[in-house]
Amino acid sequence: MEVSSDSSYVYDTSEKANLYAASGIPEYWLLDLQRRRLEVRQEPGSDPGGTFGHSYRLLHIFPEDQRVAPRFAPEISLLISDLLPPIF
């Protein structure tokens, strides 16, 4: 899981995501602090238009009030808001 701020969001969702896809990482989680959501990328594959020649085929976006489980451990369910800093 990566934690993204506004200043790193574009890099995290493009170059870094494509590098992970090129490395065969099956699932890339990005906790977006600005938008208070979790982005889950899955199914890495070849993409001539992607940086490093790869990208993820699936993108799921979960708002903070939803639960999500990692693909490798579906029995573990996490509430997105528990991963985010509190709102003051």
Retrieve residue 8's tokens.
Answer: 């790193």
Specify the pTM.
0.92
Q: What is the pLDDT confidence band of residue 5, given thresholds at 50, 70 and 90? A: confident
Q: Is residue 29 part of a domain?
A: yes
Counting the structural domains of the chain, the total is: 1
- Cα separation, 32 vs 18, in Å, equals 17
Q: What confidence tens digit (pLDDT) does each residue in 41-77 have?
A: 999 999 998 889 999 999 999 999 999 999 999 999 9
Eight-class DSSP state of 52? G
Q: Is residue 88 part of a domain?
A: no
Domain span at 9: 2-83
- Cα separation, 65 vs 58, in Å, equals 21
